[in-house]
Amino acid sequence: MNSHEEWAARFGTPLYVYDLDRVAVARDELFSMLPEGFELYYALKANPHPEVARATREGGSHACRAEISSSGELAAALSAGFAAEECLYTGPGKTDGELDHALGLGVRMFSVESLGDLRHIGAAAVRLGVTAQALLRINSLTASATTGMRMMGKPSQFGIDSETLPELMPELTSIAGTRVVGAHFFTMSNAKDEASLIGEMQHVIALAAELGREVGLPLEFLDIGGGFSSPYAVRGERAVYDKLRTELESSLDVHLPGWRDGTTRLACESGRYLVGDSGSLLTRVVNVKQSRGGKFVIVDAGINTLGGLSGLGRLLPASVEVDGDTSDVASLVGPLCTPGDILGRDIDLPELSGGELLTVPNAGAYGVTASLLTFLGRPAPAELVVRGEEVVSVSRLEPRRVFESSGAEPSGVAAE
Ligand SMILES: *Cc1c(COP(=O)(O)O)cnc(C)c1O
């Protein structure tokens, strides 16, 4: 039996397997593709499992910090061993309660999405008697020539429109409880190639420098975002960015010449690149059926297990792939009672009759927590953490209903 068969037999399916050795390799490789001294923030959104997150910060001088955007992600970051001071808190809807909680636990760095957002941060900091450091997230009016999935230039809940900065700066820099220390850009995810990634980051560096000169945007800290790409639930390898480091260095030398002396702290962010290829999803074939000339392979993992942001209305992954030789074509579907529970339509699969174990590769990011976990009442998949062949832990998220003791309970429901 290979280890996947053995683990599936021991822990059941569907089963996510995360290999911490692979997280370490991805982390070291990404750091090595960035200029010396760059900080790297791990976006816990990609996979908040505490041991996976911990592996991103274990690299000595190549240790990631944490990018978080909720109290739950903050808790996950802290339990992974990140210090509160290593966390960057982002997101357009930070509530007073979340801000009080985060500041109370020692988080000091916030990405600011609007004037209103900064006012909330300031008010919370004043309540606690501390000063919050603010990075203004910028929604640029202009774009680089080559782009991937773009979030800038359009109306958006993210970032402050760059053209409004001249008017807003005096107010943004005088809010009690806050100190604006720099800027945050996050303009694309999963860049289509190295040229788009470099083009976008160079554009961001030039724009930040221009805003520094022209509207007095402070640049003690500049987070130029990410976009590092990695395959999602299909076969393939993480992208390699051979030219990134030197291209960024020359852009920085031109636009922010003090960067080598630490005048500006520089940072990038990544979720999928750091953890995507560390994970596999093991799923077992429950039934195989024919229908009007089509073949359906029904497995025990559906969009409740690998939902890929389906809740946001874009059904990703559009199509998964499985490891191993293939000689058949069929639709791979999950067990849920919705026609939307499709992992792949007419995809290449092995010849299957029921009971076989399939492995979906590159499923370490946007897996469990990006899925419709509670839809149709199946348990969340088990998550197995390994180092190579050695088992580290196995766990499972468990959503459950908790009745508020003071609230009215529906009659007939017994409290436990
Ligand atoms: C989602 C997100 C990331 C991570 O994106 P990946 O494509 O997984 O690298 C980083 N930063 C911010 C602000 C995000 O919202």
Contact 62, 27 (CB under 8 A): yes
User: Helices marked H in 216-311 — which ranges?
Assistant: 244-255, 272-275
Q: Sketch the domain layout of the chain as residue ranges.
A: 34-270
Nearest atom of ligand 1 to the alpha carbon of 184: 13
Q: Is the CB of 69 under 6 A from ligand 1?
A: no
Long-range contacts of 112-116 (CB under 8 A, 24+ apart): 112/136, 112/137, 112/160, 112/172, 112/180, 112/184, 113/137, 113/157, 113/158, 113/159, 113/160, 114/160, 115/160, 115/168, 115/171, 115/172
Beta carbon of 270 within 6 Å of any ligand 1 atom: yes
- Token pair for residue 283? 């799923």
Pick the residue whose CA is nearest to atom 7 on ligand 1. 189
Share of the chain above pLDDT 70, in %: 93
Q: What are 218's two structure tokens?
A: 């402070």
How many helices (H) and strands (E) would you count in the chain?
A: 10, 19
- Give the domain 34-270 fold: TIM Barrel (3.20.20)
Enter the tokens of residue 95.
């509530």
Which amino acid is it at 399? P
In angstroms, what is the span from residue 187 Cα to ligand 1's centroid? 9
Structure tokens at 76: 């996950």
Residue 343 to residue 332: CA distance in whole angstroms: 5
What is the 7 CA–ligand 1 centroid distance (Å)? 31
| Residue-wise pLDDT tens digits, 109-151 | 999 999 999 999 999 999 999 999 999 999 988 777 555 445 5
pLDDT in tens, the chain (416 residues): 689 999 999 999 999 999 999 999 999 999 999 999 999 999 999 999 999 999 999 988 899 999 999 999 999 999 999 999 999 999 999 999 999 999 999 999 999 999 999 999 999 999 999 999 999 999 988 777 555 445 556 888 999 999 999 999 999 999 999 999 999 999 888 899 999 999 999 999 999 999 999 999 999 999 999 999 999 999 999 999 999 999 999 999 999 999 999 999 999 999 999 999 999 999 999 999 999 999 999 999 999 999 875 544 445 556 889 999 999 999 999 999 988 899 999 999 999 999 999 999 999 999 999 999 999 999 999 999 999 999 999 999 998 899 988 766 556 555 44
Choose the residue to mutate in 157, 189, 230 for probing ligand 1, maximizing ligand atoms within 8 Å of C-beta. 189
Spatial separation of the C-alpha atoms in residues 365 and 276, rounded to whole Å: 4
Ligand 1 lined by 113 (C-beta under 6 Å)? no
Listed in sequence order, the residues at least 6 apart from 211 whose beta carbon sits closer than 8 Å to its beta carbon are 138, 162, 165, 183, 217
Are the CB atoms for 359 and 280 separated by under 8 Å?
yes
The residue whose CB lies within 8 Å of the most ligand 1 atoms, and thus the one to mutate among 149, 150, 187, 270, is: 270
What is the SS3 assignment for 121?
helix
Among 40, 68, 152, 186, residue to substitute to test ligand 1 (most atoms within 8 Å of Cβ): 186
